[in-house]
Structure 1
Amino acid sequence: MTSPGDVDWSEMCSDTMQLIFESLSCSDFHRARTVCSKWYSASKSCVAASWNRYPWLIRFPEKYSVSKPFNDLFTKLSDTNSCKLLDPREGKTYRKRCLGDILSESRCLASYGIWILMMNPSLDFYVLNVFTCERIDLPPLSLRGEVRFQRKDVGGLFLEHSWLDRETIINRYIETAVLWIDEKTKDFVVSWIYNAQYLFSYKKGDDSWWHLEGTKCLHMAYKDQKLCVYTSDHHIKILDYAGDTPVEIIEENPYLNHPFNYDPKPWEFIWKRRLAITTSGDVLIILSLKGFLEYEEKRLFYIFKMNLQGKEWERVDSLGNEILVFGDGITLAVASGKEEIRGGDIYFVPDDVWPPQANLQNSTGAFDLATTNIGWTLPLPYCYISSIRFRWIVPGIL
């Protein structure tokens, strides 16, 4: 008789592994695919990799307690001492005890799949798997050569703006970041923007952080080893990350000499600008606006795409079969036959839209670009908007 210790689970036949993967919850699915390389390969071809290709809501632990839940969904997420994941399609909540202490003092800057980019009060960056708790620490903040990212009262590149020091940097001056990671090889690229001016990036294998000089940056998106950067003068730069050092693409950049110009109507105010790259490689500019329609406040998202023939930016009213996670500029195609997950939805959290004044019923949700309706909402009391931290992640990005 074979003892359990003699069984080589990596040699399990593919049909059996597929049945196992298809029977697992999303959380167990992502744990199982890390068992070995064969299990990982089997998971790539499993249908389970497609039935979770939609956003989940992650709620980060807080130092401050919430006195009273606002509704049933808020009750599920109101334990401020733990990290929780909400699957909105299944209505299930997963509590991640292993992440509570790690994330309580840190801030999430970006996400990609089941990985998140975090920064702690010491200004240390790390990448974390929200299902397996695997952590990748990034090197200390230093730049190539003699110039260094410095904190208060130290020479070099001076990025401090007030006596608040780290608190100011964490909560105010680092608002935009991008993360990309290959889950199998753990190759990754991290990029972030400081005070809408300085762009820093780090790729696995680098010996230090890289700094883009001479360009003020507002937002960016990454795909296929290329970082598209939206500059303060409304141009799109493209940086190639295939080599040892990022190199700007000039001749093959169709957006280079065609800045994005949009004049808001008298009743419109641009709250945020974001870049996204579609699955086919098209660059999108997304505006989060505050609009007044018939004296009623309404949050709106506008999407613009360049007509490569006419070389003009045009507003589009559809994402086709793709959805968009506004905060991370991530788009992905939606499989057909899933009525709960509709193409054309824009997923947002409170910080993505104009700060609510009175109507708090749609603080977090999915905005239907075609109908302007908002679904999967998470209403929050006004006094908690600034303290409760949420982010959409997409477990199906493998």
Structure 2
Amino acid sequence: MEIEEKQNPNSHERLRRVTPKSWSELPLDLLSSVFECLSFANFNRAKSVCSSWYSASRQSVPTNQIHWLILFPEENNDNNSCTLFNPDEKDKLYKTQDVGEEFAKSICRATYGSWLLMQDPLFTLYIVNLFTRERINLLPVELLWEGYELGVSSRKGRMKSRGGYVRSPVFWIDEKTKDYVVLWGLRDWCVFYSKKGDTSWNQIPQTPDCFDMVYKDHKLYFIGYFHSFKIFDLSGEIPQQIFEWSVFVDRSSLRGRGVWATTLVVTLTGKSLKVERVKRDCCFQVFDISSGRRINSLGDESILLDQGITVSANDTNGFIRNSIYFNNAYQKHATDMFIFNLETRKTEPLHTFDSFSFQFSRAQWFVPSFTLT
């Protein structure tokens, strides 16, 4: 049986009417779908094409969020702008506008999205958005120091600077409501936290020996000096401890080599890892906290060591799978950022930056936010 295809004489006319004459006439739902797949850099480029694309960008929430590196200006540098590096665009660097002298003299202690937790030379803490410059001043911490110093000065002798006692600060902030929580620890006391609306710093008494912390998905992951590992749920008014474990790892493979530094890391799936950097070698060992066993593969993930997290690593975001990204802050005159591959056990530079322009001990990973303006 032969089937004859019949043409509607009006179909060509309808097709002519719905076919866009230019890229600016693409349907809004199609444009929105495209914008949701774009990276931060391409998103901002695309929304500048025309008014219709800009309108589509305002109705899109991209899911392709990739960590960038922010390199802070050196002290006593006349240029107070920051340099931004996108791993997906290895041959391109971006510069921010002048961030101001106060910002340039402050130290970034943690990041969340495009928000930075800064500490000025007087050890005052504040949160600031890198792009919008919106600032939130935090509660002063001076009231805590008197009691703390009275308790430790007699047995420790000469006191260190107050800023040296602020350990592993972490924070979270809601981009729309500006609700936030900031946490930091004192080694011999406990972890302190403050939320939006609080009039004083609050204590988490179950944390007397803070060594390192990670904040992820409204949970605080805590590891102490004496092998204690705890998880606190911060979704309510008061932090609730929901998990506790004693950490013991198999270091037989070290063969007499000591550990230079230890970092707590939380994976994309919520697994907790202990990462140790070995002395005399630019290499790392990774352990599963729950089992104490050494891990030789991260799969399709990579560790951002100073963030204490893993990120997805694939061909589209520029990160190399099964690797650890770290800076050489443990060495004086550090001049680069590095990648340690767990499979090959080799280290290579992330990028050949101009060592005369950047101070790499002040580099931080962050996620550029898609703000609607």
**Is TM more than 0.5 here?**
yes
Shift of residue 233, structure 1, vs aligned partner: 0.8
CA–CA distance in 2 between the matches of 1:243 and 1:286? Answer: 30
Deviations 1:207-258 (A, max 9, x none): 3211233611100112222211101111101222122122222xxx2x42x3
Match of 1:158? 149
Tell me the amino acid that sits aligned with residue 322 of structure 1. Answer: E
Match of 1:76? none
Summarize the Cα distance change of 1:187–1:317 in structure 2 as closer, same or farther, 3 Å threshold: farther
Tell me the amino acid that sits aligned with residue 303 of structure 2. Answer: L
* 1:326 matched to 2:305: yes
Specify the SS of the correspondent of 1:299.
Answer: coil
What is the 5 A alignment of 1:190-339?
190-195=182-187, 197-213=189-205, 215-249=208-242, 253=243, 255-256=244-245, 258-263=246-251, 265-291=254-280, 298-307=281-290, 312-334=291-313, 336-338=314-316
Specify the SS of the correspondent of 2:99.
Answer: helix
CA–CA distance in 1 between the matches of 2:188 and 2:298? Answer: 27
Deviations 1:332-364 (A, max 9, x none): 223x4438322222111122xx4269xx67x41
Specify the SS of the correspondent of 2:286.
Answer: strand
CA–CA distance in 1 between the matches of 2:347 and 2:113? Answer: 23
Shift of residue 386, structure 1, vs aligned partner: 7.5
Query: Residue 180 of structure 1 is aligned with which of 172, 182, 187?
Result: 172
What is the 5 A alignment of 1:66-85?
81-85=80-84
CA–CA distance in 1 between the matches of 2:38 and 2:316? Answer: 19
| TM-score under structure 2 length normalisation | 0.74
| TM-score under structure 1 length normalisation | 0.70
Summarize the Cα distance change of 1:350–1:173 in structure 2 as closer, same or farther, 3 Å threshold: farther
Match of 2:365? 392
Gaps of 5+ in 2: 1-26, 48-54
* 1:109 matched to 2:100: no
CA–CA distance in 2 between the matches of 1:24 and 1:88? Answer: 12
Asked whether the 8 Å contact 1:197–1:218 carries over to 2, the reply is no
Match of 1:355? 331
* 1:346 matched to 2:324: yes
CA–CA distance in 2 between the matches of 1:85 and 1:157? Answer: 38
What is the 5 A alignment of 1:40-59?
42-44=59-61, 46=62, 49-50=63-64, 52-53=65-66, 55-59=67-71
Tell me the amino acid that sits aligned with residue 234 of structure 2. Answer: Y
Summarize the Cα distance change of 1:373–1:331 in structure 2 as closer, same or farther, 3 Å threshold: same
CA–CA distance in 2 between the matches of 1:367 and 1:320? Answer: 14
Shift of residue 98, structure 1, vs aligned partner: 3.8
Match of 2:126? 126
Q: Which has the larger radius of gyration?
A: 2
CA–CA distance in 2 between the matches of 1:177 and 1:287? Answer: 20
Summarize the Cα distance change of 1:40–1:238 in structure 2 as closer, same or farther, 3 Å threshold: farther
Tell me the amino acid that sits aligned with residue 149 of structure 1. Answer: L
Asked whether the 8 Å contact 1:61–1:100 carries over to 2, the reply is no
Summarize the Cα distance change of 1:13–1:384 in structure 2 as closer, same or farther, 3 Å threshold: closer
Summarize the Cα distance change of 1:348–1:289 in structure 2 as closer, same or farther, 3 Å threshold: same
Task: Give the alignment's Cα RMSD to 1 decimal.
Answer: 3.9
Asked whether the 8 Å contact 1:141–1:149 carries over to 2, the reply is yes
Summarize the Cα distance change of 1:286–1:25 in structure 2 as closer, same or farther, 3 Å threshold: closer
How many positions carry a matched residue from both structures? Answer: 333
Summarize the Cα distance change of 1:337–1:14 in structure 2 as closer, same or farther, 3 Å threshold: same
Gaps of 5+ in 1: 1-11, 33-37, 66-78, 143-147, 292-297
CA–CA distance in 2 between the matches of 1:186 and 1:209? Answer: 18
Shift of residue 271, structure 1, vs aligned partner: 1.8
Range 369-378 or range 227-236, more displaced? 369-378
Match of 1:26? 41
CA–CA distance in 2 between the matches of 1:56 and 1:63? Answer: 22
Specify the SS of the correspondent of 2:331.
Answer: coil
Asked whether the 8 Å contact 1:61–1:103 carries over to 2, the reply is no
Asked whether the 8 Å contact 2:86–2:92 carries over to 1, the reply is yes
Summarize the Cα distance change of 1:164–1:188 in structure 2 as closer, same or farther, 3 Å threshold: farther
